[in-house]
Amino acid sequence: MKLTTLLPLIPLLTTLPTTWASPTKSLTRRADSCEQWATTTTGPYIVYNNLWGQDSATSGKQCTGIDSVSGDTISWHTTWSWEGASSSVKSFANAALQFTPKKLSEVNSLKTGWEWSYTGTSLTANVAYDLFLSSTASGSAEYEIMIWLAALGGAGPISSTGSPIANVNIAGVSWDLYNGMNGDMNVFSFVAGSRAESFEGDLVEFFDYLEKEQNVDKGLFLTDVQAGTEPFTGQDAKLTVKSYVATVA
């Protein structure tokens, strides 16, 4: 997704504990993939390098690799450096869950746990879940629901006003909610008030809120569940996903 607005945000601190264990090192680490559209399928996930916005950069590169898989839990990483077009997203390295699309009304739970860390110089990026909703199981996305666990270096979500439309507490975290259009797609972005390097929760709680407070129809299909990072600019960056799991039931 292309982000068009940068909002000034105060550097954040990790606040959340987690009970999710790191995955057993049951898989020999694979070589990183650096091609623009490189993918690796392992367990229930497809891991994407996804350099969809690289043409906006004056220079840079990104590579992504898998460290381990144990059951439904994955450990992976991405490294990158990007310069130029400071308000444009360059890529979205992510782990996408493979599942059969379901109506939100039929999703009983979407439990997830995520432990991560980020290093690098002058980073502007996010760490976020990216979820898509459609009127049909195979149709184009009409809603995008982003859940930002961190906004680094002043990164900000799509917003029609530049300001949050609400502040909500979900899964024990305080979130500023932003809303705006990305072409024909309606985007809701929950941005954590404090950087959450450990997160555990049921993402169905976000859908329940959106149905009740923002009139998002639960007759829509959940078609995609992705989790990764959108970088704008920075040098010698590395996102290390120590442990990630997501399950749709």
pLDDT in 10s for each residue of the chain, 249 residues: 544 333 333 333 333 333 344 444 455 576 899 999 999 999 999 999 999 999 999 999 999 999 999 999 999 999 999 999 999 999 999 999 999 999 999 999 999 999 999 999 999 999 999 999 999 999 999 999 999 999 999 999 999 999 999 999 999 999 999 999 999 999 999 999 999 999 999 999 999 999 999 999 999 999 999 999 999 999 999 999 999 999 999
pTM of the model: 0.89
230 noted as active-site residue: yes
Question: Which of 223, 1, 28, 239 lies closest to 107, judged by CA?
Answer: 223
For residue 197, count other CB atoms closer than 10 A to its CB.
20
Sign of the Cα torsion 208, 214, 219, 222 reads negative
Catalytic residue among 115, 142, 197, 230: 230
Tell me how far apart the alpha carbons of residues 212 and 227 are, in angstroms, rounded to a whole number: 25
58 near 83, Cβ under 8 Å? yes
Which amino acid, residue 3? L
25 contacts: CB under 8 Å, gap ≥ 6: 67, 68, 70
211 carries an active-site annotation: no
The one catalytic residue among 115, 142, 144, 197? 144
What domains lie within the chain, and their CATH numbers? Answer: 39-248 (2.60.120.180)
